[in-house]
Amino acid sequence: MLIILKEYRESWFWFLSKLKITFAPITKNEDMNTLLVLGSVIVTAALISYSIGIITEQVKKVINSTTLIFVSIGILLDITATIFMILGSPNSPFTFHGFLGYSALAVMLADVIFIWRTRLRDGKNAKVKPGLHLFSRYAYLWWVIAYITGALIVVLK
């Protein structure tokens, strides 16, 4: 398996070298390690997934399959990214951004649970009640604020 992955990686870099794309080598002195980079990529995928799911719910005011699929994928990606960032960060997980991120993850988890509960209770294309509609909007906004602060911390370092 390791040989296959190594050959795949080498062939991928060969392909990119033909496109004249180069990569700076990552050394131990770099600010971000591999886990943090992976966490950053995954949390950006979570942002895209949450955005599609929540915006679909906000516009259509129903919980359809698109909403369910994308908010569910978003929460799984968010949990994965959070774990990667905790493991990859040399800092304590108990920072201002950490608490902001954990609270945003908790609020989005609650929102996904509420969305699933409504869908299971009311069936396919369930209408979103005003309370859940508002909660989803604020939960998403809180999550985006946590995402932006994380990006600013990296940029302003």
Res. 139: pLDDT tops 90: yes
110-128 core/surface letters (b: 16 or more CB in 10 A; e: else): ebbebbeebbeeeeeebeb
Residues belonging to the chain? 157
Q: Which two tokens stand for residue 119?
A: 């869908």
27-31, 60-64, 89-93, 121-125: least confidently modelled range = 27-31
Provide, rounded to the nearest whole percent, the portion of the chain with pLDDT above 90: 60
Helix (H) or strand (E) holding 126: strand 126-127
What pLDDT shows up at residue 57? Answer: 94
Residue 152 has pLDDT above 60, yes or no: yes
pTM, rounded to two decimals: 0.75
Supply the pLDDT for residue 20: 56
Task: Assess contact for 105 and 82: CB atoms under 8 A.
Answer: yes
